[in-house]
Chain A
Amino acid sequence: MKYDLQSSNFRAANMPNSTSPESGLKRFGDKRISDLLVESRQANVNRQRVQEFIIEKLLFAGGMAAILFIALIFIFLFKEGAKALFLIKPIEFIGTHILDFDNNRVFACMWQPVGESGKYSIVPLLIGSFLVALPATVISTILGGGCGIYLAEIASAKVREIVKPAIELLAGIPTVVIGFLCLTLLATYVQNAFHTTFRLNAFVGAIGVSLVIIPVIASITDDALRAVPNELREASYGLGATRWETIWKVVVPAGISGVTASIILGMGRALGETMIVVMATGNAALVTGNIFSSVRTMTATIAAELGAVPQGGPQYCALFLVGAILFFITFVLNLVAEMIINRMRKKLRL
C-alpha cells in the first residue's frame, strides 16, 4: 500500500494552518534545551560508551563466574579423584580379599583407609548414605508433602502467613544444631523406644536429615500446587467432589511433576547432608541393611578423615574420589529435577 503526497484528493480548505515548531521552545540565551542536552552529551559521549562497555564486560564476568566455578569444581574433584585410581587398584574400591578368623580368604567390602594395607571399599559408604537418605526422603515426602498440600490448598491466608515463615525458619536452623540435638536428645529417645544396640544409628540420622528436607519439599510442593490453574478446581467442585477429592484426584496429579521434582531435590540434599550424619549416625562403616545399625555415609567419611590425612596420599585421593562420586550423584539428581521442573513450566506456560 503506497500513498502519494502529490496526488491529492482533498480540498485545501480542510488543511489546518501550519505553525512554526520553534516558537514555543525554551531558550538559554540563544540555546534551546535540546542543544544544551546534545552539547552536554557530546562532551562525554566517548567516556560514557567506554564506561558502558566496561560495565557490561564486568557484569558478564560475574555471570561467567558461575560457569567457571561449577567447571572448576568438576575439574578439581575429578582430577584429585582420578589420582586415586592410579594409586589404588580399581577393584579395591569394591572390596578386597582378606583372611577371616579361620584363615580363609574371603572377599570383603571394608573402608579402613589407615595403615599400610588400607582398605578402600566404597560399598559400605554408599550403603550408609542411602540407608540414611532413603528413610529421610520417605519421612519428609510424607510430612513435607502434607505441609505443602496444607499450605497451598487448605490453610487460610492468615494461617499460611504464619506457617510458611515458620517452615522457612525451620529451614534456616544450622544443620550442626540439628546434629547436636540428635546426638544429645533424639538418640536417647530412640534408644529407649526401640532398644537399639547402637545409640547413634542410621535411623536417628534419617530423622535429623528429614528436618532439613521437609522445608525443601514443602515449599516446592506448595509452589507447584499453587501453579495449578483454578479452573481445574472449580470444575472438580462443580462435579460435586469434596475438597480432599479435588486435592487428591485433580490438583496433586496436575502438579505431580513439581512434587516429584521436590522429592528428587530433597533426596539430593539428603545424600549431601554432612553435619547431621557425622554427629548422629555413629560413623561405623558397616555393610548392613539394618536401619538401627551405625553407618558411615560418604559425606561423614570426608568430614571425619580429610582433616587428618597427608595430601596426595592414597587416602587423600580416595576421599576426593568419594567426593566426586557424591557430586556426580547429586548432580544427576539435580539435573533430573530441573528437567522435570522445566517441562512443567513449559506445560503451564509460566
Chain B
Amino acid sequence: MKVEHGIKGQQKTKIKLEELTFYYGKYKAIDNVSMEFLECKVTAIIGPSGCGKSTLIKSINRISEITNDVQVEGKVLLDNKNVYDRDVDLVDLRRRVGMVFQRPNPFPKSIYDNVAFGPRLYGVNNKKRLDEIVEYSLVKSALWNEVKDRLNQSAIGFSGGQQQRLCIARALAVDPEVLLMDEPCAALDPTATARIEELIEDLKKYYTIAIVTHNMQQAARISDYTGFLLNGQLIEYNITTEMFTNPDKKVTEDYITGRFG
C-alpha cells in the first residue's frame, strides 16, 4: 500500500518521522509511519483506542522508554536531528519537547513549586528569575488571574481544568519548542475542555503542537493537520478541513462519521 500525500507551504518542518516502527517488547505499536509536524501548527492524531496514537507522540520525546522495554526502527527527526541518535542528550530533548498528559498530574506541591520545578532542574535558583518565569508561564497558560494570590497553595486542591492548565504552565516554564498533548481533555468537563482548546489556539502562535485526541470534533476545531492512525499504521494525513470534508479513504470516512472506533 502506498499513499501519496503532500503539503505545500512556507512552514518549516519541525518534526519528521521517517519510517518509524515502534515495538513494546515484541508487540508492534507503530508500523512504518512517515509524517511531518509543521512549526507553529497544531497537528492532531486521531484513531480508535489502542491504535498507537499515544505511542506515536511519546516516541518524539522518548518518554515511553522509561517504563517500558521498547525498540525503535526508523527515525524521528527534530530539526533534522534524529532524536534516537546515540549522542542525543535526553535532558535537552525533553526540554525542547514538552508534554501534557491524559490525566492532570501536578506534583503534590504548591502551584509555584510545580511551575518552578522545571527551571530548578536546570539549576536556575535565582528567586527573581524564578518568579518571572512562573508568572510568565501562568500568564501564558491563562491561569495567572485565578491563582496569583494562591501561589503557595497545594495544586491538589484545584479543579481538573485548572490542574491541567497548571500542567501546561509547568511544561511552558522550560520554554519548549514543541508541545505534545496526549488527550489533554479526556478527563475534563466540556467547560474546562473549551478553555484548554482556546488556550491551544493561542499557544500555537509560539509552539509546534501535536495533540492526540479521541474526539473528532475537537480535532476538527483546533487542528491544522490531522493524521488518522489505525492499528499502528498511518492511514491518511491531510489538512484538517480537507480530511473532514473529503477524506481520501473509505476507512477514514467510516471512522470520522462514527461507523466504528
Q: Would you list which residues of chain B between 6 and 46 have a CB under 8 Å from chain A?
A: 6-11, 13, 32-36, 39-41
Give the distance to chain A from B178, nearest Cβ to Cβ, in Å: 10
Q: Does A37 contact B (CB under 8 A)?
A: yes
A52 to B36, CA, bound (A): 35
* A239-280 to B contact mask, C-beta < 8 Å, 1/0: 000000000000000000000000000000000000000000
Q: Does A115 contact B (CB under 8 A)?
A: no
Residues of B within 8 A of A192 (CB): none
Instruction: Give the segment of A20-28, A155-163, A164-172, A326-334 that binds chain B.
Output: A20-28
Q: Does A4 contact B (CB under 8 A)?
A: yes
Size of the A side of the interface (Cβ < 8 Å), in residues, is: 33
Evaluate contact between A19 and B5: CB separation under 8 angstroms.
no
Residues of A within 8 A of B7 (CB): 5, 8, 10
Residues of B within 8 A of A177 (CB): none
Evaluate contact between A3 and B206: CB separation under 8 angstroms.
no
Q: Does A36 contact B (CB under 8 A)?
A: yes
A44 to B124, CA, bound (A): 11
Size of the B side of the interface (Cβ < 8 Å), in residues, is: 51
Evaluate contact between B241 and A3: CB separation under 8 angstroms.
no
Residues of A within 8 A of B32 (CB): 1
* A1-38 to B contact mask, C-beta < 8 Å, 1/0: 11111111110101110111101111010001110111
Residues of A within 8 A of B173 (CB): 33
Contact partner of B6 (CB less than 8 A), chosen from A6, A14, A34, A41, is A6
Q: Does A50 contact B (CB under 8 A)?
A: no
Q: Does A43 contact B (CB under 8 A)?
A: yes
Q: Does B66 contact A (CB under 8 A)?
A: no
Residues of A within 8 A of B13 (CB): 5
A34 to B95, CA, bound (A): 8
Residues of B within 8 A of A38 (CB): 92, 95, 122
Evaluate contact between B34 and A15: CB separation under 8 angstroms.
no
Residues of B within 8 A of A41 (CB): 91-92, 122-123
Residues of B within 8 A of A8 (CB): 6-8
Please list the 3 inter-chain residue pairs (A to B) with the smallest Cβ-Cβ separation, ordered nearest first. Answer: A8-B8, A3-B5, A33-B175
5 further A-B contacts with Cβ under 8 Å, apart from A10-B8, A15-B239, are: A26-B133, A33-B173, A34-B95, A37-B118, A40-B124
